[in-house]
Amino acid sequence: MEDLLFHKEEDIRKEAAELIGLLISQYDEEYRKELPKYIDKENLQSSSNKILENILDQILYPDHKIAELPIEWQYNIKTIIKSLFHNSP
């Protein structure tokens, strides 16, 4: 999904950004089952905050191989955040 943020077509980038915002807003769920004692809960946890941070890092600091038109891709941040707040419970 993240790869679609760097697509040439604006409508595809916008749709991907909206979906990413939706997925991040609904990502954190309470795990109700008991985990075995040998599982390290701290390393297991992947929160929506970490996912959002990784996505923003990829948009703000793209790899030099794909840094063709980064300013167009940075408009995705607005769409992701808007979708995130719109879909948050």
Report pLDDT for 39: 67
Confidence check: pLDDT of 8 > 70: yes
> Do the domain assignments include residue 64?
yes
- Least reliable range by pLDDT among 31-40, 45-54, 57-66: 31-40
Confidence check: pLDDT of 67 > 60: no
Report pLDDT for 66: 63
Please give the residue that has the higher pLDDT: either 6 or 43.
6
> Do the domain assignments include residue 38?
no
> pLDDT tens digits for 22-47?
888 888 666 556 767 776 666 656 67
Question: pTM above the 0.75 mark?
Answer: no
> Do the domain assignments include residue 80?
yes
Domain extent at residue 80: 2-26+46-87
> Do the domain assignments include residue 37?
no
Q: Which of 62, 59, 54 is nearest to 74 (CA)?
A: 59
> Do the domain assignments include residue 32?
no
> Do the domain assignments include residue 61?
yes
* Mean pLDDT (the chain, rounded): 77
What's the total number of domains in the chain?
1
